[in-house]
Structure 1
């Protein structure tokens, strides 16, 4: 038996970063009736878990309660991958109010102006840099800069760790970058130059400012025209002809149905295309394969999957380096140009982090994380069956394009050589190629066993260089020796292809574009072509992934689509 819930005007599917923005902005007008559905748990402002509030992101990222439990993804299918490298692995996709903003690294970067000018060139008219900048300013309160490039009244707190307060590892990395000719950029959200900078974070130095904390405080939640239903997974969108009229869902194990005048999908780069295909909107041949009646043939749904392929190189830090008054964590961010033929400038990024986990061993390890800011490879999301409980087939096709392969190998070499630089050898020891393996994931789960195991391991690593080298080589490092990879280009290429991982920025699977583009799914207002009253407002609507972490661009996108919806309603009211 399906329980019918009273109808709503705006039904938002997905309480992630974009959904929180939409719920706030649309319900600000008391005449709008708004319902927000979140598949995972809600976290109330006065009882938000400590790991989500923590300014160090490793604790929340390790808590499996905040993720889709059976979602997996594959690197790719190409012959440049080993059999093991093609196997699907657990994919960290947030399933909690606030979405990625509740568990991510809190990096609050906008991307480059050219990212959004490219969106406009790709058919998303009105999404150029000059058009989106006001919405970046609207969403933030930047505590470090007061000028025309920054906001001071927005809900999201943005601040940086000053260079003088970086940990010794990151200080040393920054000094080497400067020696190599990279300039120091004071404000990466206002200056598009290459160089390194203090990372802007979405926290105030004490607690995380997720989209849930920023956009859904108590006063917003108390609005009588806003309803939030957590633990509610939507199973399909319902239609009357070519008009969306509501959704079917599972709420705490019970079937419910909700009618709506507008259905807004904000379920993210993986689950928004999944839900569209379950509802009959997608490539008709694929829908026929899994036995789903076609409501609308949309070849672009689930195609064009993009993310930032990344890889890790780590090292051990002696006690005196990892202790003291300095900030310990990801603090510095290098943007640089690869110089690879056919690639744009400012196409690469490297993050320096003076801490690699919440546990005792994580505090002993520092990590460099290079990633491709502008990837050329494209993946896909496809259904495995017509059953809503079944997670989709997610394949990123990382490094499928030879330019991506060349750049990732070069970035890994650059990281390895940096860790072996004479200036770094004064503050670190035992550099090694680190991998985000299943063993690392399991050891990162915050529980008593892992606390005890890592505490014991950390004490052994601190005994002395001989013991540490043995343990690092035989237990910590799951890959080959770094020096061996540096001396063998073929071995390095093979290693990189099979060790590359997602930076957890899946996007672009339902991209905006023009009506004559067969692969565009929505217009420049997020409206799905061919379906009335169905809107997409999340990272899946991006035409191409920005050259940075996707949290702030996603917030901006949701702010702008909410603004368009409110303006449209105001126009309709004036005409009436």
Structure 2
């Protein structure tokens, strides 16, 4: 429904990404509660066929609907209704019991694996997440599954807590069509609710905070400044966006806010801190003519998927029964650069899923048009834990590449990357899995270093919550889309009660 954007609402949801779509859909189920969902990017509507083809294509990682087109890869974030679910790999996996034990220590039993389980299952059902069809496995993917089995790993279900092993994720895609979260939660039935307003093309500038309460949200709608007023404000602008909005609103580290000319309303040192992302290194393996031919045979009819399988592995310091590495075999068109027709890139990446290193998000200025300063600080921890764990992962990559099924399709690893590469080389080569979390971390009432309480309320502000990946106190050893869906379902359930 469309209504004047300066109307008052019961709830304003700021950010139409994965969490924001869940919140808007669930909270508007109560016809007596008016909900406004604000999204900076475009809303292409309920009809899937009306969406741009790149956003519907589950075989690629579209980059047209992002905040910054010419930026470092770790900064990539979606600017479209549905958020990262519109541009990611459509993968849905789950962390270990140890991951959720970390969360439960910070937030209580509702954050444990068992506490989140019904919300995990609810999200899977709502999104119609499905296993990888056998016909989507390329020769490289099939060989990787066989190679992992040859090394003694067990097959595991990637969408539930478990242990190390190999398997396939659940997909929010079918027959090449990406089913993003806007499709899953904001269908025509939901959009027709008279109590739901969706404001697309609307950028959140700042919150107006007075005496520990939000009095309004200053939003730019089609170039016009508008203040949205509500009883409850839910910030869901993501791990980079949510801390930036808080800091522009005077909620954050007092010293930093003063440096950029923002009046301090609530001194919260944890805002923007604790940035955690999962770095990784890709090991290229020259494909044989047979592999190129097999990939081309899948590619010509449009059935080639670069990655459909993974291995969960544990470094020596990982807790028993958990994992802290993903080994990701890929084969297809290169993610960066180009190759001649019917020639492909193959290899295996090692991603560090439980890094110790912590980065930070800061403001460059108080101007909302200035993108935040983001430092992921990959592989920077002082005791070198992350470098050692990643080296172990690269040793496992070499072992997997040497198995008979994979070595028959691609050339060998040159040397032993985990041992031959210097620390500087590893830091230079490190890329990202695109799973940043933690910049508005959740913690107990007595933990003043955190930003939100276990019910997602911002400390010192009575009617403001943050609900997105930024509130995860630690990163799970998983792709983060399914955990964000489950957290949003859990907190929406609490808000509805």
Which segments of 5 or more consecutive residues in structure 2 lack a partner in the other structure? none
Tell me which of 346, 358, 365 is aligned to 1:385: 365
1:553 maps to 483
Distance in 1 between the 2:275 and 2:322 partners? 22
Give the aligned CA root-mean-square deviation in angstroms: 2.4
Q: 1:218 to 1:427 in 2, by over 3 A?
A: same
Which residue number in structure 2 is paired with residue 169 of structure 1? 140
Q: Which has the larger radius of gyration?
A: 1
Is 1:272 the counterpart of 2:273 in the alignment?
Answer: no
Deviation at 1:259, TM superposition (A): 1.0
Q: Distance in 2 between matches of 1:342 and 1:55?
A: 34
Matched, 1:374 2:354: yes
Match of 2:131 in 1: 160
In structure 1, the partner of 2:25 is 24
TM-score (norm 2): 0.91
CA separation in 1, counterparts of 2:317 and 2:363?
35
- CA deviation after TM superposition for structure 1 residue 71, in Å: 8.1
Contact 2:333–2:339, Cα closer than 8 Å, also in 1: no
| Structure-1 separation of matches of 2:70 and 2:220 | 18
1:49 paired residue among 48, 52, 55: 52
Q: Confirm whether residue 215 of structure 1 aligns to residue 185 of structure 2.
A: yes
- Number of matched pairs: 480
Partner of 1:322: 295
Runs of at least 5 residues in structure 1 that lack an aligned partner in the other structure: 74-88, 142-154, 432-481, 568-576
Does the C-alpha gap of structure 1 residues 336 and 370 become closer, same or farther in structure 2, counting only changes over 3 Å?
A: same
Matches within 5 A, 1:72-111: 72=71, 91-111=75-95
**Offset of 1:339 from its aligned partner?**
1.1
SS in 1 for 2:91: coil
The 3 A distance-change label for structure 1 pair 554 and 157 is same
Please give the secondary structure, in 1, of the residue aligned with 2:129: strand
Moved more, 162-171 or 302-311: 162-171
Supply the distance in 2 between the matched residues of 1:378 and 1:340 (Cα, whole angstroms): 18
Change (3 A) 1:530 1:343: farther
Alignment of 1:247-262 (within 5 A): 247-262=217-232
- Equivalent-residue separation in structure 1 for 2:106 and 2:74 (angstroms): 32
1:515 is displaced (CA, Å) by 2.0
Retained in 2: the 8 A contact 1:71–1:91? Answer: no
The partner residue of 2:387 within 405, 415, 438 is 405
1:69 paired to 2:53: no
Whole-Å separation in 2 of the counterparts to 1:228 and 1:341:
44
User: Residues 487 and 504 (structure 1 numbering): CA distance in 2 closer, same or farther, change over 3 Å?
Assistant: closer
Deviates more, 1:292-301 or 1:124-133: 124-133
List aligned pairs for 1:181-330, cutoff 5 A: 181-185=152-156, 187-190=157-160, 192-317=162-287, 318=289, 319-324=292-297, 328-330=305-307
Tell me the equivalent position of 1:477: none
1: CA distance, partners of 2:189 / 2:230 = 24
In structure 2, the residue corresponding to 1:354 is in which secondary structure? strand
Distance in 2 separating the partners of 1:45 and 1:316: 43
SS for the counterpart of 2:234 is strand
Is this contact kept in 2: 1:486–1:492, CA < 8 A?
Answer: no
Q: What is the distance in 1 between the residues matched to 2:7 and 2:219?
A: 14
With over 3 angstroms needed to count, the CA separation of the structure-2 counterparts of 1:378 and 1:344, relative to structure 1, is farther
Deviations along 1:9-40, one digit per CA (max 9) or x if unpaired, are 11011000000001100111111101011111
The 8 Å contact of residues 169 and 424 in structure 1, kept in 2 or not, is answered as: yes
Instruction: Give the deviation of 1:405 after TM superposition.
Output: 0.6
Instruction: Choose 291-300 or 156-165, whichever is displaced more.
Output: 156-165
Pair 348,423 (structure 1): closer, same or farther in 2 beyond 3 Å: same
408, 424, 444: which is aligned to 1:494? Answer: 424
Is the contact between residue 443 and residue 453 of structure 2 (CA under 8 Å) also seen in structure 1? yes
Residues 334-353 of structure 1 correspond to what in structure 2 (within 5 A)? Answer: 334-340=311-317, 345-353=322-330
Tell me, yes or no, if the aligned pair for 1:169 and 1:428 is still in contact at 8 Å.
Answer: no
- Aligned partners of 1:357 and 1:363 also within 8 Å: no
Q: Aligned to 2:484, what secondary structure does the other structure show? A: helix
Residue 122 of structure 1 aligns to a residue whose secondary structure is helix
- The Cα offsets for residues 46-89 of structure 1, whole Å up to 9 and x where unpaired, read as 2112222112133x2xx3x311127856xxxxxxxxxxxxxxx6
Residues 350-391 of structure 1, C-alpha deviation per residue, up to 9 Å, x if partnerless?
122232448765961223222111111111111111111111
1:90-169 to structure 2, matched below 5 A, reads 91-141=75-125, 155-162=126-133, 166-169=137-140
Structure 1 contact 71–90 (Cα < 8 Å) conserved: no
Asked whether the 8 Å contact 1:245–1:263 carries over to 2, the reply is no
Distance 1:345 1:561, change over 3 A: closer
Matches within 5 A, 1:535-574: 535-567=465-497
- Please tell me whether residue 507 in structure 1 is matched to residue 398 in structure 2: no
Measured in 1, the distance between the counterparts of 2:310 and 2:175 equals: 18
1:510 and 1:521 in contact (8 A); partners too: yes
- Paired residues of 1:335 and 1:346 also in contact (CA < 8 A): yes
Q: Which residue of 2 aligns with 1:395?
A: 375
